[in-house]
Structure 1
Amino acid sequence: MVRPTLKDIAARAGYSISTVSYALNEKSTLPLSDKTKSTIRRIAREMGYVPNGLARSLQAGSSHTIGVLLDKPLTTPRYAAIVQGLSEGLTERGLHLALLHKAPAARWIEAVRGYQLDGLIFIGHDDHEVPVELAGLVTKHGVPFVALDCGAFDEERGYSTVDFDYGAGVEMLMTELEGRGIRSVYYLRPDLVSRAERIRERAVLSALGERPDIGLRVVPTGIDAQVLRRVDEDRDQQSAYAQELLGRVERALEKDDADPARTALLCSWGADVEVVYQVAQRHDSRFTVAALASGTLTVGLWPNLVYSKLPLEEAGRECARLIVAQSGPGKEHERLLLKPELDPGQPAGTNS
């Protein structure tokens, strides 16, 4: 199908191309008679003319599109929730979202400077933070930019940042477990030594240090950077990791003689929750399963399940708000630290 052009409309209407362009531009200040404008617009409709959005964006200096730099699969609930919040926040502001693939930093900076994008949002994870080259180009060219989950809440940066208060989430969850009468915690800790994991581990040890009546047992989950990479790329590897984790938790519970009614299995990763819950239920339904990030199970449907939930969708919406603010006059860089929310569910034997 051939799209009609301004030249085609001009030929049928008997006007110059420039007159047709002025007549179809709602913001044009060139004086044209109402008859001329209505004739040209009628012919354009009859011919099925659609304005060239890219050309208009270049003329206006805006693409109404924000580029999102994320190198994790959207099949992971954590990143799907963030992108969902981003999409909603941008849509509310009349903007679109474009997921960007890996490429040199200069390519995306030039895309913003060339009006193909209006700004960039970088989604970090583990120890994957804003690359030095990208941060330098953002600062140099004043590109609207927001970084999420890069651990920059206590540092001055040349752009706005949004981070999660992992420590507050640990304290919140430990207070809940203590109130439930928990006296033993199995800490399912990844072998991945990342910034977020370091924060969570320190917070767990600190919280239990203040609660001497609660004992701690660390159970490594076996996932490190190399295993994580394979799990992200291959579903078969996801199943293999789940089986490995299941075996580790099984062996830990069989070795000890813990009181299920006073014991919690604490998952650092939401992705581990379903496997750990399965093992706990197999041994004794009185075990509590707790997580420092939400998983795929709904607490209202699974007794003795409790989450310290990261505000993932809220983080996405805040990034949308901040990227718009970065594009306006008199912009100021904000550093947000979002606290998790407790999702306590229902202890076994209680009514909803």
Structure 2
Amino acid sequence: MPRPTMKDIAHRASVSISTVSYALNDNSHVHIAPETRARVRRIAKELGYTPNAMARSLRARSSRTVGVVNSKPLTNPRYAAILQGVASGLAEGGFRLAMLPDPTAETVLEDCRNGMLDGLIFVGHDDAVPPQTLVDAAADGTAPLVTIDCGEPAEDSPYSAVDFDYSHGAQAMLEHLAGLGIDTILHLRPEVSSRAERERQSTLMRVLGAGEGMTLRVVSTRLSDSDLAAADIGGRAMTSRHLATVTADLSAALRASHSPPEATTVLCSWGADVEAALRVVADVAPGATVAALAGSWPRTDIWPNLVYSRLPLVEAGQHAAELIVDELLPDATHGRRMLRPLLESEGVSPAGTTEVPSRKDPA
């Protein structure tokens, strides 16, 4: 049996094909009498008519679909949370999400040109920034673009951006630890040169250098940039060799410390090291605090001496979705949104994410 068409509906309803098209289109601004619209839709349902979404997208040069360029596995909770936020934010705006694993996105620019994709969201990590091909496509209007976690773009950049205020997260952590009476920090950190790590280290040195009564000693996890190039390390993806190194070196540092446990904090740069740090502290220095500057979802209800700086990952995705929808408007301006991490510990949960709008963000 042939698939019913708009011509069939028009014949049954005694109206023109254009009237059928307007009656079935929720976004049409052409006035159709309510009874005519209802009759057309009822007949379409009776005939089993389903619109050809592909053809409709090509005619309208819009698919109501946004491509998300993400080269990291979604088994990593960090990126799964960001994508969750993007998906929910796009849905609120009447858009769908298409996953694009190609980090260059060159293969999808043609889809943007022909209307199969309305815009792109680029999810950054470490020192990743959007490739120049995407920036050029945003500049000439081919592919409106929003970046997440790529650093604040230049003033004249042709796209919007959402970023995390890593510096504020580090400063807020030190202020919280000082309030707990901590005088010794064992900083468990990798030997990597990512932007987030550089911003945190700069803030830690600045705040500690300006204050008194708190000292910091670095305990390296020996994880290098070359290790990261070989494999993604996070959560349960940590190797047994890495865990053994962290356990041994941190245990030695705690035993050599002259500060009592209640005045000592193990500060983890990476959420992936929190679990190992908690085990070592429970065994070697019960009563010491474990703190984390990065993502992860540690259970503060079962680890009373745990405090961590939560990155607003889902919220970042939602902000990116809002910005890409704004980018599609005829009079679009490029927004810049900086999100602050929030501290969480036993009995203390943040009420919400603090947003720091950039001066270029109309919000």
Query: TM-score, normalization: structure 2?
Result: 0.84
**2:294, 2:309 within 8 Å by CA — same for their partners in 1?**
yes
Cα distance in 1 for partners of 2:236, 2:18 equals 62
The structure with more helix, counted as a fraction of residues = 1
Task: Give the unaligned 5+ runs of structure 2.
Answer: 349-363
2:170 counterpart letter in structure 1: V
1:153-208 deviations in Å (ceiling 9; x for gaps): 56431111111111111110000000100000011111111111111111111121
Q: Which structure 2 residues correspond to residues 1-352 of structure 1 after superposition, within 5 A?
A: 4-6=3-5, 9=8, 18=17, 22=21, 25-26=24-25, 27=28, 38=39, 42=42, 44-102=44-102, 104-141=104-141, 143-152=143-152, 155-232=155-232, 238-240=238-240, 241-345=242-346
Label 1:53 to 1:233 Cα distance change in 2 as closer, same or farther (>3 A).
farther
Question: What is the root-mean-square deviation in Å for CA atoms of aligned residues?
Answer: 3.1
2:163 counterpart letter in structure 1: D
Label 1:229 to 1:154 Cα distance change in 2 as closer, same or farther (>3 A).
same
**2:6, 2:20 within 8 Å by CA — same for their partners in 1?**
no
CA shift, 1:151, in A, is 1.1
**1:161, 1:335 within 8 Å by CA — same for their partners in 2?**
yes
2:331 counterpart letter in structure 1: G
Partner-residue secondary structure (3-state), 1:128? coil
Deviates more, 1:93-102 or 1:228-237: 228-237
**1:22, 1:28 within 8 Å by CA — same for their partners in 2?**
no
Cα distance in 1 for partners of 2:177, 2:29 equals 65
**1:10, 1:20 within 8 Å by CA — same for their partners in 2?**
no
2:5 counterpart letter in structure 1: L
Partner-residue secondary structure (3-state), 1:190? strand
CA shift, 1:21, in A, is 5.5
**1:170, 1:292 within 8 Å by CA — same for their partners in 2?**
yes
1:23-57 deviations in Å (ceiling 9; x for gaps): 8634496999978984x655543443221112222
1:258-307 deviations in Å (ceiling 9; x for gaps): 41110000011112111111111122321101111232312233111111
Deviates more, 1:19-28 or 1:266-275: 19-28
Partner-residue secondary structure (3-state), 1:336? strand
**1:73, 1:79 within 8 Å by CA — same for their partners in 2?**
yes
Structure 1 stretches of 4+ moved >6 Å: 14-17, 30-37, 233-236
Partner-residue secondary structure (3-state), 1:232? coil
Label 1:14 to 1:181 Cα distance change in 2 as closer, same or farther (>3 A).
closer
User: How many equivalent residue pairs?
Assistant: 345
Deviates more, 1:84-93 or 1:260-269: 84-93
1:4 counterpart letter in structure 2: R
Identity of aligned residues (%): 39
2:215 counterpart letter in structure 1: G
Cα distance in 1 for partners of 2:14, 2:33 equals 12
